[in-house]
Homo-oligomer: A and B are copies of this chain.
Amino acid sequence: MIYRYDFGTPLETGAIVSDVPVCSGDIRHFTAETDSSGPVSLTIRPGRDDILFGLGETLRSMNKRGYLYRSWNMDDFSHTENKHGIYASHNLLLFTGECGLFGVYIDDPGDVRWDLGYTDIDLVRITSVNGNFSCYIIEEDSLTGICRTFRKLTGRSYIPPPWAFGYIQSRWGYASSEDAERVLNEHRTRHIPLDAVSMDIDYMDRYMDFTWDKDKIPDLKKLCADMRSRHARLIPIIDAGVKQLDGYSVYDEGAEKGFFCKKADGTDFVAGVWPGYSCFPDFFRPAVRTWFGRKYHAMMDAGIEGFWNDMNEPALFYTPEKLQEMRNKARELLKKDAPLTEYETLKHIGSDLPNNDEDYRRFYHVLNGKTVRHDTVHNIYGAHMTMAAAEGAKSFDPDKRFLLFSRSSFAGAHRCGGVWQGDNSSWWSHILLNLRMMPSLNMAGFLYCGADLGGFSCDTTEDLMTRWLQLGVFTPLMRNHSALGAREQEVYRFSTWQDMRSVIRVRYALIPYLYSEFMKCALTDSMMYRPLAFDYPEDPLACRVEDQVMLGEDCMIAPVYEQNARGRCVYLPEAMLMIRFRSPEDADLIPLGKGHHYIDLALNEFPLFIRRGHIIPLVKAAESTDDIDTSSLFLYGWIEKDTSFTIYDDDGFTTAPDLEKGLRHIQVSIRDGKAAAGSDGLSLSTDHLILM
């Protein structure tokens, strides 16, 4: 059940697809307080042990209790615990416990503060700074039900092509055809599976969107074709800012048509990003989205089938206005002889240049025909860039799925593309962060997601890379990506690359299953990754688990995330079969009862837990998704009686997949202590079923 309450004059965010009537009377669960200066707060006093889930792409634990979060999309690559928010805003928060079972969604495109027991451990206060928003209270009989209803409110999740589940190698620094081909060669030569190479900003001509440096990539079409012939693809980056350069057609057109965001004086807003001074498409206007979306066609024409959209918070390095302030401050300072002040001031002189609130108040959009200042709609900018890209893909080929993932996002964008979890670091704690964000992003509708495996900034280590890949096996987006200047971390650079290859090969053995689970979730508005509390709400131990996650209908994952660990404690909320993988061909099958277990896991081992009575199919590992043979399935599970399972498949391209048509039901029966399974046209191995 959904209850809608409007405060102030709500703005259209693009999140909502269902008409929900506005309720009159007091808001359920909360006390609403309106500040005469504008802000509106919703407060509630949950029980001391009540749990709060949600907020999508945020730092810290899955249970969000006890900290102060801020919905304010921000390009800040240093994800230390104290940060209040990062690149995305996902305003869905779930409550469970003494205070009830419900979700609250704040449909506000601007600044929202979530004081979840920070100021007062027993008080939750959600504040819309602008006070103009719709609030949806969702009541269902389960956490999963609340998230499903939220998806009905906001629309079906984006569906990528199956090759998006392949392994992707990326690096800030890959710039040329040679780079792409070398990376592909290094993988193919060693039989390390690979489906795509992704390229950061360096491939572009002077960082101009939709261009490529002809010296480095003389023939993009040929590069794409060559890679496709080797069963791989190229994924270029596109940034939000358009370089302000006369003669650059995208800029010229945008300027001429008035498609860029404007300042109060009507001139184009300009800020420095990678290309230098740039303009920012006003993605909220349908005509601008159509225009920008069609710009992707040039690269699609050349054979590109996937893009990552970046810098769309939007990140602003500096504006001419702030830069001038800084120059003036510096000049003033340099006149004096005041060493300490000078040191303190100069040391920090650039620190408020990027992404500052003042600059975000300096420009305007047109939203539904009305002029709105950027800061009131800041959080939906990146989402609308994703919508533009998705519209461009649709206009290019309405019958084909493209891979799209974005750094910044907001509800609504989940219908159009996936996300990666932003610019993380090569820190062990970020494996755990990766894991914890998966279910939170799923709650918000973002099913296709994953983090930069191995870590983006800082130098990775061989074991960190290995352990992180072992988690990446289970995330839809499985991309190894790192920053210019950080240690190079392609798996073939490490002495234990064969162990890493084994990890990636397990991924390929699981891809049909992962794709099947993904599609089931997408087509039934379900979550692929869930905190244990969603599946075992009556189990207080399960409800507090922060380092294990349910995967699909059948599985649980529990990665190792500490250096030098040779294992870890795992809590099983029910009996499960552990597959301890060393490779697809070399794995231990260990039935385990409900309760806490210490699991021994050498660096080259990682576990997958299958709920008792469930069966999952694996395939023979291949070197690309093109080469996966889905006609031979190896069944894994721990069953004691006849059972069945389903697996979904489709042509991988249809944009109108049909769940019922794609589902295959497979029956497994036990006769004389042996399992047997059969299905037309399928070869089914039951050798890995534990019967007892």
Contacts and interface: CB of A to CB of B under 8 A. Distances in A.
Contacts of A623: none
Nearest to A565: B544
A348 interface: yes
A326 B340 contact: no
Contacts of A277: 339
A66 B67 CA distance: 33
A540 B602 CA distance: 12
Interface stretch (A257-265, A372-380, A424-432): A424-432
Contact of A276 (B276, B339, B427, B596): B339
Nearest to A330: B330
Nearest to A118: B461
A563 B65 contact: yes
Interface in A259-278: 272, 276-277
A428 B349 contact: no
Interface in A511-570: 540-541, 544, 546, 562-567, 569
Contacts of A571: 598
Nearest to A331: B334
Nearest to A462: B121
A327 interface: yes
B326 A495 contact: no
A120 interface: yes
A350 B347 contact: yes
A80 interface: yes
A343 B350 contact: yes
A564 B66 contact: yes
Given A81-B429, A428-B81, A495-B122, A563 B339 contact: no
A458 B59 CA distance: 15
A564 B541 contact: no
The prevalent SS among residues of A at the interface is loop
A566 B540 contact: yes
A292 interface: no
A564 B51 CA distance: 9
A320 interface: yes
A343 to B, nearest CB: 5
A496 B123 CA distance: 13
B339 A350 contact: no
Given A330-B330, A562-B546, A566-B49, A353 B342 contact: no
A624 interface: no
Contacts of A334: 327, 330-331, 334
A60 B564 CA distance: 11
Given A120-B495, A346-B326, A541-B598, A564 B340 contact: no
Contact of A60 (B65, B496, B563): B563
A667 to B, nearest CB: 38
A207 B426 CA distance: 39
A176 interface: no
A9 interface: no
A82 B458 contact: yes
B353 A339 contact: no
A544 B563 contact: no
Given A563-B65, A564-B63, A343 B330 contact: no
Contact of A272 (B340, B463, B546): B340
B66 A461 contact: yes
A318 interface: yes
A61 to B, nearest CB: 6
A317 interface: yes
B353 A347 contact: yes
Given A66-B461, A565-B546, A82 B427 contact: yes
Contacts of A121: 461-463, 494-496
A490 interface: no
Interface in A17-59: 48-49, 51
Interface in A344-368: 346-351, 353-354
Nearest to A547: B562
A323 interface: yes
A80 B426 CA distance: 11
Identify which of A49, A348, A564 gathers the most chain B CB atoms within 10 Å of its CB.
A564
A688 to B, nearest CB: 28
A78 B277 CA distance: 32
A61 B118 contact: no
23 contacts: A61-B562, A61-B563, A66-B564, A67-B563, A81-B425, A81-B429, A82-B427, A121-B462, A272-B343, A323-B339, A323-B343, A326-B346, A327-B334, A327-B342, A330-B334, A347-B349, A347-B351, A347-B353, A349-B349, A429-B429, A541-B598, A544-B565, A546-B565
The 4 closest A-B pairs by CB, nearest first: A347-B350, A569-B569, A82-B458, A81-B427
Given A61-B563, A65-B563, A68-B459, 19 more contacts: A48-B603, A60-B563, A61-B562, A66-B462, A117-B462, A118-B461, A277-B339, A317-B340, A317-B343, A330-B330, A330-B334, A330-B346, A346-B353, A429-B429, A544-B564, A544-B567, A546-B564, A569-B598, A596-B596
